[in-house]
Chain A
Amino acid sequence: MCDAQKEPATSTAPPAVQFINVTKQFGSLVVLKNLNLSVTRGEKVALIGPSGSGKTTLLRTLMTLEPIDGGVIEVDGEAFTHERIGGHLVPAREAHIRRIRGKIGMVFQQFNLFPHMTALKNIIEAPVHVLGQSREEATDRAVSLLRKVGLIDRKDHYPSQLSGGQQQRVAIARALAMRPKVMLFDEVTSALDPELVHEVLQVMRQLGEEQDLTMLIVTHQMGFAAEVADRVCFFSEGSILEQGPPEVIFHTPAHERTRAFLRAVLDA
């Protein structure tokens, strides 16, 4: 259905993320249908498509927020959902899942900052308590991340004292503080007022320039996808209908379904 169309960075390196025949159902509703997707290290992939087509679910299964019903998800060539013990693949234990999950960061549509913590504390919480960093080390890193997202002057503000765009930038900094290899962005500008979208996209553009960071971006911002993504995957009804470089998908899509979607989105 959908295999990587571009060559991996090196022929020996395993893909950063690989979905192999992944199926996910909610009751009788099939959300992901035998989905295959291979993302190379450092690749920026935009996932576009109508609501309910499975884009967000794909990110959520990769973040282990939803269990999958079939297939395998691999990160850096290691199965996430299964582990190899004594030559056999068995369902993964919590320790294995946590080890692999440590390579992934996620930013949510609704920011999901911890409301009882300031911006700075939101960022250092996991590095201190999960990675075991000292408070000083975590704070230094948090301060430099807050500078990067342009919010150093808001470090002691609580989420309720920040605008949506500022909260989302803190959320990006919070995810980056865990030094993930793969970042997942789930419609991160959809909940923002139009004038705040720009500041968040600006931060993501900067991230897009980081060679080693793999990014999977679910977005309705087609201009942004065209600008940042190496590859665009168009989702329809739980599978990837077509994919390719942005200039191909946006200008000469092969499928009528893709054309109809792009017309609807660009006219809106």
Chain B
Amino acid sequence: MAASIVSIVVATIAGIAQLSGNRLVRWIAIGYVEVFRGTSLLVQLFWLFFVLPNFGIKLNAFIVAILALGLNNGAYGSEVVRGSIVAIPRSQIEAAIALNMPPALRMRRIILPQALMTMLLPWGNLLIILLKGTALVSLITIQDLAFQTYNLNVLTFQTLQLYGLSLVLYFVMAQGIALVIRALYRRVSHGITRGAF
């Protein structure tokens, strides 16, 4: 949950920053996306957990998990945000300029609300991928669902039941995410007919 929030916040900032007129801001955002998208989540977890302490930065395993999952997912998400923003027709921006709206207001009131509709469904995918990515955090000592399943299996050898239950639990959580996204989509797309503008 916390990683989802980090992921959404980082993705929104990086997605908008990639479209910034300021070259430095744009390059930092692109650098972040390429690094976190282009390297393995597992290696990112290990870096934050095992390598950073060598530079004197010691983070709690839980914080590391939130940061790594959030930043990794956020890198993919920022492309979704960027893509949805550039898909807004130029004519919408021109209408906002003609009403004398400054750039930040245009983004907040006109562009993002419309882009949200386009980005919601891909976000459903990303959040489900993030959920399943949490299975990796057991490798940095966090006792997540996959880790607990493994431990119980070692103790009880009820492999079929335990992994069956684990499968069902992941599925139920993923369905929960899908339901929330679908409800949000219905809400933000209210009144808008796709392709009409």
Point out residues on A near B: beta carbons under 8 Å.
63-65, 94, 98, 101-102, 104-106, 108, 110, 112-116, 118, 125-126, 129-130, 158-161, 174-175, 178
Q: Contact at A112–B94, with CB atoms within 8 Å?
A: yes
The number of inter-chain residue pairs (CB within 8 angstroms) is 71
Residue of A nearest to B193 (CB): A160
Give the residues in chain B near A106, CB-CB below 8 Å.
Answer: 98
Tell me, in angstroms, the Cα distance from A174 to B100 when the chains sit together.
Answer: 12
Question: A160 is contacted by which of B99, B188, B196 (Cβ under 8 Å)?
Answer: B196
Q: Contact at B105–A130, with CB atoms within 8 Å?
A: yes
CB-CB under 8 A for A116 and B98, given A108-B91, A160-B196: no
* Bitwise interface map of B from 93 to 134 toward A, beta carbon under 8 Å scored 1, else 0: 011011111100100011001100100000000000000000
* Bitwise interface map of B from 168 to 190 toward A, beta carbon under 8 Å scored 1, else 0: 00000000000000000000101
CB-CB under 8 A for A116 and B192, given A129-B105, A129-B109, A159-B197: yes
Tell me, in angstroms, the Cα distance from A110 to B193 when the chains sit together.
Answer: 16
What would 19 more interface pairs be, CB under 8 Å, given A65-B97, A108-B98, A175-B98? A64-B97, A94-B102, A98-B100, A98-B102, A102-B100, A108-B94, A112-B92, A115-B191, A115-B193, A115-B196, A115-B197, A116-B114, A116-B117, A116-B192, A118-B191, A126-B101, A130-B100, A130-B101, A160-B196
Tell me, in angstroms, the Cα distance from A104 to B99 when the chains sit together.
Answer: 9
Q: Contact at A115–B95, with CB atoms within 8 Å?
A: no
B17 to chain A, nearest CB (A): 20
Tell me, in angstroms, the Cα distance from A118 to B113 when the chains sit together.
Answer: 14
CB-CB under 8 A for A116 and B113, given A108-B91, A108-B94, A160-B196: yes
Tell me, in angstroms, the Cα distance from A110 to B100 when the chains sit together.
Answer: 19
B189 to chain A, nearest CB (A): 9
Give the residues in chain B near A118, CB-CB below 8 Å.
Answer: 191
Residue of A nearest to B197 (CB): A115
**20 A-B pairs whose Cβ atoms sit less than 8 Å apart in the complex:** A63-B94, A63-B98, A98-B102, A101-B100, A102-B100, A108-B94, A113-B95, A114-B110, A114-B114, A115-B192, A115-B193, A115-B197, A116-B114, A130-B99, A158-B190, A158-B191, A158-B192, A159-B196, A159-B197, A174-B99
Tell me, in angstroms, the Cα distance from A104 to B95 when the chains sit together.
Answer: 12
Tell me, in angstroms, the Cα distance from A178 to B113 when the chains sit together.
Answer: 22
Tell me, in angstroms, the Cα distance from A114 to B93 when the chains sit together.
Answer: 10
Q: Contact at A160–B191, with CB atoms within 8 Å?
A: yes
CB-CB under 8 A for A178 and B192, given A114-B92, A115-B114: no
B90 to chain A, nearest CB (A): 9
Tell me, in angstroms, the Cα distance from A129 to B191 when the chains sit together.
Answer: 22
Residue of B nearest to A158 (CB): B191
Residue of A nearest to B117 (CB): A116
Give the residues in chain A near B102, CB-CB below 8 Å.
Answer: 94, 98, 130
